[in-house]
Amino acid sequence: MTGPTVSRLFVYPIKSLGGIQLDAAEVEARGSRHDRRWMLVDETGDFLSQRRYPRMALARVRVEGDRLVVNAPDMPPLKLALSPEPGAAVRACIFGDEVEAVSCGVEADRWFARFLGAACRLVYMPDETERAVDPEYAGVGDRVGFADGFPLLLFSEASLDDLNARLENPLPVNRFRPNILVAGCAPYEEDRWRTVRVGGVGLRVVKPCARCAITTVDQSSGEKGKEPLRTLASYRKVGGEVYFGQNAIPDATGLVRVGDAVEVISSS
């Protein structure tokens, strides 16, 4: 009997824009390489997401050589350096964390302002900026990029299948924005994992993921609905939150590939 394995890998370079499916991901201290190192902010420096602008779902990104290319309906391609040159310092605020980012330039700001119909700036988190993970769940030195709070998100295909069996219209995995999708385990088995090894990379599974309104945004149309939060609330609600998936923190760097074994080291 085979155990759990990695079935799909994803990275989301610009927070709240479309993701990229990978065959292999280089896991770094902040999470997968390039994952949520870019972010849109408003004129006050507060982050923007699909919660406020569901249209962001329609923008797609891809890596092309040393460039990150962004495409969106009725917009010309926007090309960004994967390793941006130092730019003007910009205050960026995300869930109460204020960090120093750098501007990606006027061209990018104008592109996104035109696409969203609102003044905004695109910023990048340089290597020198350190944003700590919530110390209630993390150790000293654990850090994260512009993800909501943790470097990695994982859950199982079986959990998604179980949810979809409860829905009138099944939903694709892109509603839930995982970094690591796992096959070969029972539904919600990942809820019990505490430490795992994926390929050669050890992960601490530290906190269930509280799901927000982004899961209700159709990633192909940008339209909002009520599912899956309505159904999740019927069986995955604790206190005032509904949970789906698990947040994880890497203990090492290394390459994770589709097909890698997910070895459960400890569970509850």
Condensed to tens digits (0 to 9), the pLDDT of residues 79-132 reads 999 988 887 899 999 999 999 999 999 999 999 999 999 999 999 999 999 999
Are the CB atoms for 10 and 177 separated by under 8 Å? yes
Please tell me the total count of domains within the chain: 1
The predicted model scores a pTM of 0.97
Return d(Cα 67, Cα 163) in angstroms, integer. 37
By residue range, what is the domain housing residue 228? 5-267
- pLDDT for 111 equals 98
Any idea of the CA torsion for 29, 31, 32, 38, to the nearest 10 degrees?
-110
- pLDDT for 2 equals 82
- pLDDT for 72 equals 98
- Please write down the HEC assignment for all residues of 119-149: CCEEEECCCCCCCECCCCCCCCCCECCCCCC
Question: Residue ranges of the chain with pLDDT lower than 50?
Answer: 1
- pLDDT for 86 equals 81
Domain of residue 42, CATH code: 2.40.33.20
Instruction: Read off the pLDDT of residues 97-110 as tens digits, 9 standing for 90 and up.
Output: 999 999 999 999 99
Q: What are phi and psi of 16, to 5 degrees?
A: 75, 0
